[in-house]
Amino acid sequence: MRVPSSGLGWLFALLLTFAITTPPYASADEPAASTEAPAATSAYPAKDGFDFFSDQPVEASQIVQLPPAKPAWQTTGGPIALLAFFFALNLTIWRLVPFSSHSIDINLRNFPPAAKRGIAMAVVIFGIAFVFGASEISYQLNLHGSASAYFEQMSLGKLIAFSHAHLFGFTTSFFIVGIPFSLQFNQLRVYQWVFPVGLAASLTDVMSWWGIKYVSANFEWISLFCGLLFTVSYLWMLIGLLRVLLFPEVIWGSDKDRAERLARRQAEKRAGR
């Protein structure tokens, strides 16, 4: 007997439906799957009062632990002690090397042209380096928001290398500029303070960076004070040297040969008449 094609198609569809809807036989070692729907997550807080779905901030003290506040003898006494170190260092240098008017008499105007050109170029190049250093400070402050945030993210190794490079740079620049400046103006007591004070300020500034990172942000005031101090002292020496080396016709009251040069100028004017 031949089965109609329509009846055969109906039988195949029935068997396919039965195969899909019937679950497979479970093994004797496997537990039967539960037909119950999972319980809905409760919208109410747990017994300990913590609501996982709440938008309220966590107030448990065990979750957020802040470091204890540092005592005032560190946050306030530390910067004061570093400032006292700066003045004590200058006082010690003054005691060990007092001012003497009977020092070597050198006039940079009498130096060979190559020496005067080289000293003038070195002074200007170190001045440019200071400008780049100041721009780096401005960039880092804008990037991190404050000096304390900048030094906080700096690792110990980087701070060691940072201090090493700046101490060498400060010492070299002040040595190259301070020696000829002090020799040129050896007759003025006040001018003999510019070189050592600027160098002491640069050392104290580097020490304040460690205080900013490990003690308190109040050390920023010491860094600011010392930064302004050694910048002013360097500009003072830079202007004095460039005037002597590049503008010999300019006569200031600080020149050791001021009287001689004024007399020579008056004689030249009378001879020109």
Lowest mean pLDDT, pick from 23-37, 49-63, 107-121: 23-37
| 10 within some domain | no
Tokens of 30: 């496997």
pLDDT over 60 (residue 52): yes
Q: Which domain holds residue 231?
A: 72-96+114-272
Q: Do the domain assignments include residue 170?
A: yes
The pLDDT tens digits of the residues spanning 141-156 come to: 898 888 889 999 999 9
pLDDT at residue 3, as a whole number: 45
Q: Give a yes or no: residue 219 inside a domain.
A: yes
Pairs from 101-107 (Cβ < 8 Å, separation ≥ 24):
101/187, 103/186, 104/183, 104/186, 105/186, 105/256, 106/183, 106/184, 106/186, 107/184, 107/256, 107/257
Give the model's pLDDT for residue 217: 92
More confident of the two residues 11 and 264: 264
Could you tell me if residue 253 is inside a domain? yes
Per-residue pLDDT at 130? 87
First to last CA, the chain: 150
Percent of the chain at pLDDT > 90 equals: 45
For residue 2, the model assigns a pLDDT of: 46
Q: Is residue 36 part of a domain?
A: no
Give the residue, 17 or 222, on which the prediction is more confident: 222
Structure token digits, residue 188:
């003025």
pLDDT per position as a tens digit, 237-262: 999 999 999 987 888 888 888 888 88
Number of domains the chain is built from? 1
Which range is most confident: 40-44, 185-189, 232-236?
Answer: 232-236
**Would you say residue 30 lies in a domain?**
no
CA–centroid distance for 170 within its chain:
15
| In-domain check, residue 181 | yes
- Residue 162: inside a domain, yes or no? yes
Q: Model-level pTM?
A: 0.71
